[in-house]
Amino acid sequence: MADLDHAAPAARITPFSSRLEREAQRTRIRAQRGEVPAEKIMEQVEQLSRADRRDALVDLRQDIARRVAEPVGFRQRLVDFWANHFAADTRPGRFNSARTAYIEEAIRPHIAGDFAQLLRAAVLHPVMQNYLNQNRSVGPFSRVGRRTGRGINENLARELLELHTLGVDGDYTQDDVTQMARLLTGVTFDLEQGYKFDPRIAEPGLIEIFGKRYGGRPVKESHVFEALDDLALRPETAAHLAGKLARHFVADAPDPQLVAHMQASYLASGGDLRALYRAMLEHPAAWGATLAKTRTPLNWIAASLRVTGIKPATIRKLDIGTTRNSLHLPLQLMGQPHEAVPSPAGYDDDAGAWITPQALAARIDWAMGLQALLPQVPDPRDFVTVAMGDMASPALLRAARAAETRGEGIAVILASPDFNRC
């Protein structure tokens, strides 16, 4: 699977290093308060923020072009799943509009390896740290803690156990969260190098988590890595990942035997994600005749562009205004704003989370306007077969034949329950 990322090289994403450098520039500019007029400082900061917003729109264009170009969508669906599993964004805080870069550099390269590798990359990334205030966490008995009186922030430790590994039903206590937060205290970032481990703020001494001792004097980065690797292989983690992946790909309430098979395969492989995916795909319960999931807004837009024949190169050439009006704003109205997540738990996988009256109206409006991007609007009577093959319902076939105009017919097909399922 590592060799199947065909679309990425043709559609580059703004690197996180660019976001890091702009944040460093903003910090240097703001440090001039009292020496430089406030209006000039505001103007310079706004210039950098405009550049971030512009790059975010370019990244959105590139992302959608990739999805349209991908010959097999499974890899991108996996990227989306793990990006939602390790949900993080940059509101409020630093690194404006850096979520796409975080996904590109911390998630995408690791979806076909061991979960432990993915866990390290996602949890330790500066975007995740910033989102969960890990950069504010200081061991009370560390060198810096003793001097400043600063203390521990438990946000990252709590979400690490509750969302990223063991799950909300996992067998852990508040004391486990506190001890994990103590172990993570050396994990931080700066604006010069990004992620780093700083022993000056790491809580010294032995730290016991789930009956195993980590840490020491001095506390080392390797102790954090060891704890993350151990979490990756716990049975609760396997159960949590298997259930969540099955709910994402198969059904809102997947077959328990499917989930058990996936969990067992994951543990037997030592946390190999390919074994987890293989176990899901080989199980009969994953191949029901009924499409039970709902396309997210981003994947629905990409599928609509792909099926209407719009080329990836055409998407990449859209200007900033068209990108904003035709992609960025519609996604916001549909409930999946670019560069944002609703909470550390990410988006809900249930169909009801996506198909609300407002979100469905936004899908219909976007589908009605799609004909403006098409060099030639196809006949709905033919297009319904192109879009759905032999899976179009009798009601959709009748609606395609009865459309008063070609544009309305295309919109009816794309906004239909049939096309919205996956």
pTM: 0.94
Are the C-beta atoms of residues 113 and 273 closer than 8 Å to each other? yes
Render the burial of 100-119: b for 16+ CB within 10 Å, e for the rest: bbbbbbbbbbbbbbbbbbbb
Nearest one of 237, 340, 355, 242 to 295, comparing CA atoms: 355
pLDDT at 256 over 70: yes
pLDDT at position 10 is 59
Nearest one of 379, 363, 381 to 417, comparing CA atoms: 363
By DSSP bridging, strand 194-197 and strand 205-209 are: unpaired
Where do the H-state alpha helices sit in 168-316?
174-183, 221-232, 235-249, 256-268, 273-282, 297-307, 312-316
What percentage of the chain exceeds 90 in pLDDT?
86
pLDDT at position 34 is 87
Cα 177 versus chain centre, distance: 24
Give the mean pLDDT of the chain: 93
75: Cβ–Cβ under 8 A, 6 or more apart, which residues? 1, 4, 5, 111
pLDDT band at 172 (very low <50, low <70, confident <90, very high): very high
> Residue holding tokens 């205290």?
185
pLDDT at position 6 is 52
CA atoms within 13 A on the CB side of 21: 6
pLDDT at position 3 is 44
pLDDT at 209 over 80: yes
185: Cβ–Cβ under 8 A, 6 or more apart, which residues? 137, 138, 139, 142, 152, 201, 202, 203, 219
**pLDDT, tens digit, 9 for 90 and up, residues 82-139:** 999 999 998 767 888 999 999 999 999 999 999 999 999 999 999 999 999 999 999 9
**pLDDT, tens digit, 9 for 90 and up, residues 348-379:** 988 788 889 999 999 999 999 998 888 889 99
By DSSP bridging, strand 212-216 and strand 205-209 are: antiparallel
Q: Where are the domains of the chain?
A: 8-105, 114-290, 297-420
Average pLDDT over residues 306-334: 96
Average pLDDT over residues 222-241: 98
